[in-house]
């Protein structure tokens, strides 16, 4: 690790905008191509996932860390297309269930698929006969096994050594599973877009539900 002075000197000697922009061409765009390939291979699961969303009344979000940021982005958009949305663990979140009043769904996001908090939420949902939609990078994970339907994406390529600094990684913009979380973010938007289309919901409809108390 460089000192502050060494870092500033490195900036003056090495920085250029082309190097700064390089990941947008060499990593972000290939990630999008990966999503296309992954979703093509899972077309039946994706269709079944959208069907489940069309059959339920309320959505519960379960995720932690950066995966939680991706999940909450999707949750906000789910709210915009008309669903009551709750965050698992929030003090104002009601009991999850599946009865004559509400048909609920758990939207669970975890790159590893082994996050204890998320797996525990999925187990409770299954106990209550609530469908679990999982977004994960681990097909063999506990979360994937619990899921009613899952969308699996390729995550981080594990390196043999962690001694490199980020700019020297074989996948330099993919530190700590950025690829997995980035894909989960986009998959959430894709689901919202498809569900809105099926329901005949317009952007004007979504605008009416946008927060107005800030």
pLDDT in tens, 146-191: 999 999 998 765 545 555 555 555 565 666 667 888 899 999 999 9
Span 24-34, mean pLDDT?
Answer: 79
Helix axis angle for 178-199 and 43-55, nearest 10°, is: 60
Torsion on CA atoms 186, 192, 195, 197, rounded to nearest 10 = -90
pLDDT of residue 45: 95
pLDDT band, residue 114 (cuts 50/70/90): very high
Structural domains of the chain, with CATH: 17-205 (3.40.50.10490)
Model pTM?
Answer: 0.87
Q: Is the pLDDT of residue 39 over 90?
A: yes
- Of the candidates 80, 85, 84, 83, the one whose C-alpha atom is nearest the C-alpha of residue 205 is 80
pLDDT band, residue 26 (cuts 50/70/90): confident
pLDDT of residue 20: 78
């Amino acid at each position: 690790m460089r000192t502050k002075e060494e870092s500033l000197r490195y900036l003056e000697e090495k920085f250029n905008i082309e190097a700064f922009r390089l990941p947008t061409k060499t990593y972000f765009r290939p990630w999008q191509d990966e999503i296309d390939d992954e979703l093509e291979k899972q077309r039946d699961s994706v269709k079944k996932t959208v069907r489940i969303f069309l059959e339920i009344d309320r959505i519960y979000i379960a995720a932690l860390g950066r995966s939680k940021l991706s999940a909450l982005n999707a949750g906000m958009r789910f709210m915009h297309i008309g669903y009551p949305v709750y965050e698992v663990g929030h003090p104002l979140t009601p009991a999850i269930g599946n009865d004559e009043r509400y048909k609920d769904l758990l939207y669970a996001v975890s790159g590893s698929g082994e996050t204890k908090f998320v797996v525990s939420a999925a187990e409770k949902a299954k106990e209550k006969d609530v469908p679990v939609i999982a977004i994960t990078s681990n097909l063999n994970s506990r979360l994937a096994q619990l899921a009613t339907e899952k969308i699996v994406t390729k995550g981080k390529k594990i390196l043999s050594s962690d001694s490199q600094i980020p700019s020297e990684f074989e996948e330099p913009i993919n530190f700590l599973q950025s690829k997995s979380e980035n894909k989960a973010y986009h998959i959430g938007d894709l689901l919202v877009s498809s569900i809105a289309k099926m329901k005949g919901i317009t952007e004007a409809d979504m605008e009416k539900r946008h927060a107005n108390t800030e």
